[in-house]
Amino acid sequence: MTDYDVIVLGAGGAGYTAAFETSRAGMKVLMLDPKFVLGGNCLYEGCIPSKTYWLGASLARREEKLPFVQTKVSFEKLVDWKDSVQEQRFVQHSQEVKEHENVTFMGEAGTLLDQNHVKVKDRVFSTKYVVVATGAEPLVPDGFQDGITTHDLLMPKTKVRSLPESLAIVGGGYIGLEMSSIFSKLGSKVTLYASHLLNVSVEVQDLLEKRLKENGVEIVKERAKQVKKADGVKYVITEKGERKYEEVLVATGRRPNVKGINLPLGKRGEIEVTHGMRSKVDNIFAPGDINGKFMLFHVAVLEGWVASQNIIEGGREVVEMDYHAVPFAVYSDPQVAWSGMWKEDAVKAGYEVEVRRFDLSKDARAQIEGDAEGWIDVVVEKGSQRILGAQVVGKDADLLIGELSLAIGLRMTTYEMGRFSQPHPTQLENITSLMRKAMSR
Q: What is the pLDDT of residues 420-430, one digit of tens each?
A: 899 999 999 99
pLDDT at 62 over 90: no
Beta-ladder partners of 41: none
Statement: residue 441 has pLDDT above 60: no
CA distance 353 to 340: 13
Of the pLDDT bands very low, low, confident and very high (cuts 50, 70, 90), residue 323 is very high
What is the pLDDT at residue 223?
Answer: 93
| Domains 4-137+255-312 and 150-252 equal at CATH topology level | yes
**Residue 212's closest CA among 198, 201, 231, 230?**
198
Secondary-structure breakdown of the chain: helix, strand, coil percentages, each rounded to the nearest 5:
35, 25, 40
CA dihedral of 37, 41, 44, 45, whole degrees rounded to 10: 170
Distance CA 121, CA 390 (A): 48
Q: Which CATH class is domain 328-439?
A: alpha beta
Q: How far apart are CA 386 and CA 407, in angstroms?
A: 9
The predicted structure's pLDDT at residue 272: 97
Q: How far apart are CA 439 and CA 315, in angstroms?
A: 44
**Taking a C-beta distance cutoff of 8 angstroms, is the pair 233, 241 a contact?**
no
Separation of alpha carbons 288 and 361, rounded Å = 38
Domain locations in the chain as residue ranges? 4-137+255-312, 150-252, 328-439
Give the pLDDT confidence of 241-272 residue by residue, as tens digits.
999 999 999 999 999 999 989 899 999 999 99
Rounded Cα gap, residues 171 and 64, in angstroms: 28
Strand segments, DSSP code E, in 273-318 are 284-285
* Residue 79 Cα distances to 33, 75, 187, 281, angstroms: 25, 6, 14, 43
- Is the per-residue pLDDT at 149 higher than 70? yes
Question: Is residue 351 very low, low, confident or very high in pLDDT (cuts 50, 70, 90)?
Answer: very high
Is the separation of the CB atoms in 57 and 78 below 8 Å? no
Residue 440 clears pLDDT 80, i.e. is over it: no
**pLDDT tens readout for residues 17-53:** 999 999 999 999 999 999 999 999 999 999 999 999 9
pLDDT of residue 1: 81
Superfamily of domain 4-137+255-312: FAD/NAD(P)-binding domain (3.50.50.60)
Residue 351 phi/psi, 5° resolution? -85, 145
The confidence band for 196, taking pLDDT boundaries of 50, 70 and 90, is confident
Asked if pLDDT for residue 438 goes beyond 60, the answer is no
Residue 66 CB contacts under 8 Å (≥ 6 apart), including other chains: 369, 370
pTM of the model: 0.94
Point out which residues pair with 339 in neighbouring strands: 390
Domain spanning 150-252: CATH superfamily: FAD/NAD(P)-binding domain (3.50.50.60)
Which of 434, 415, 431, 412 has the alpha carbon at shortest distance from 423? 431
Residue 216 has pLDDT above 50, yes or no: yes
Separation of alpha carbons 304 and 20, rounded Å: 10
E strands, 174-327, in order:
189-193, 218-220, 224-230, 233-238, 241-245, 247-250, 254-256, 284-285
- Find out whether 316 and 346 touch, Cβ atoms under 8 Å: no
In which order are the strands placed within the sheet that holds 218-220? 218-220, 189-193, 166-170, 247-250
